[in-house]
Amino acid sequence: MVVARALSVRLIAALCLVGCAGSGPDADLPPPEGLAIVELQAGFVGAGGPWLEIANLGGDPVAVQGVVVEVGTAELVLEGPDLEAGAAIVVGTDAAEASGIPVDAIFDDLAIDAGGTVLSLVSGDAVLATVSLDASWPSPVGASLGMEPGWADPTDPTGWCDQRRVGPAGDFGTPGAPNDRCDCAMPFAFRYASASGPGSDVTGEATIALHRDGTYTVEGESGTYTRWTDATGQHVEWVYPTTGIAYSGTRPLGTGPYADQPIAIPAEIPGFTSGTWSADGLCE
């Protein structure tokens, strides 16, 4: 049995059970090279649905005709035109499309468990790409998980991170667009409130470099930071080790900036009571 649906001109997909005739890859052709799973969303908020993005990371067009998307025990056989070098397609559920995700191929049996799902692209007997989610992978809620642009090994979870741009469904994500970088720099403005009154406040601007390994550098300081996404928004925290000054911030879902976020100043630092900081939150 075949369940088919008309989609965009970029891709037509058919969901087939075992024994579907005429939808598999041409056995006389070599398996397509360069396809990879580069972004996925398992933990969505509200009425959305799961989706994943497949990109051609090679230098030449790739035939997607007959490529099978395997997620757990569900399968989707792709049909359609070649995928140009650097181009990508989004596979998702009806619910994902209804929420605003630019879905190219409907896959209503798609279910992604961030704690334990294997996602593969298969052509004939060849496995083209695999992502094996488990507890070692980030598992954001309200943001997609994207691979660092240019990352060499899509199977390595250290090359993946929460996406930061506000997506079309209101969550954070980049379906149909280049992924956010995991190693990034975020300019921010800060204000330390003086105990002597606003006229003595200290203000300034700086840029913090957030590294994929959980470390940061800013104005001669270095340490570790924490960044995560949940149903309340996207969060970041870091502490300057030499002073103990602690920054924390939250971007609510569907919004861009960190606006007037708190800075905790230790009592051991005389003359200041508290502080605030702001940033656009994109970290590029």
Residue 8 pairs in a beta bridge with none
Write out the CATH class of domain 2-162: mainly beta
d(CA 189, CA 261): 10
Specify the pLDDT at position 22: 38
Structure tokens at 240: 């300057």
Specify the pLDDT at position 253: 87
Helix, strand and coil content of the chain, in percent to the nearest 5, comes to: 5, 45, 50
Residue 16 pairs in a beta bridge with 2
CATH 2.60.40.1260 domain span(s) along the chain? 2-162
Structure tokens at 84: 């140009």
Specify the pLDDT at position 23: 41
Residue 98 pairs in a beta bridge with none
Specify the pLDDT at position 276: 98
d(CA 118, CA 138): 15
DSSP letters, 180-229, are PPSSEEEEEEEEEEETT-GGG-EEEEEEEEE-TTSEEEETTEEEEEEEEE
Write out the CATH class of domain 184-279: mainly beta
d(CA 74, CA 171): 25
Q: pLDDT digit of tens for each residue in the chain (284 aa)?
A: 223 333 333 343 333 322 333 344 444 455 678 999 999 999 887 778 999 999 999 999 999 999 999 999 999 999 889 999 999 999 999 999 999 999 999 999 999 998 899 999 999 999 999 999 999 999 999 999 999 999 989 999 999 999 999 888 888 999 999 999 999 999 999 999 999 988 899 999 999 999 999 999 998 899 999 999 998 999 999 999 999 999 999 999 888 899 999 999 999 999 999 999 999 988 88
Specify the pLDDT at position 30: 58
What are the φ/ψ torsions at residue 51 (nearest 5 degrees)?
-155, 165
For residues 251 and 257, the answer to whether their CB atoms sit within 8 Å is yes
For the stretch 239-244, contacts whose Cβ atoms lie closer than 8 Å and that sit 24 or more positions apart, written own/partner, are 243/269, 244/268, 244/269
d(CA 256, CA 280): 6
CATH 2.40.128 domain span(s) along the chain? 184-279
- H-only helix segments in the chain: 94-98
pTM score of the predicted model: 0.86
Specify the pLDDT at position 258: 95
Specify the pLDDT at position 152: 87
How many residues are present in the chain?
284
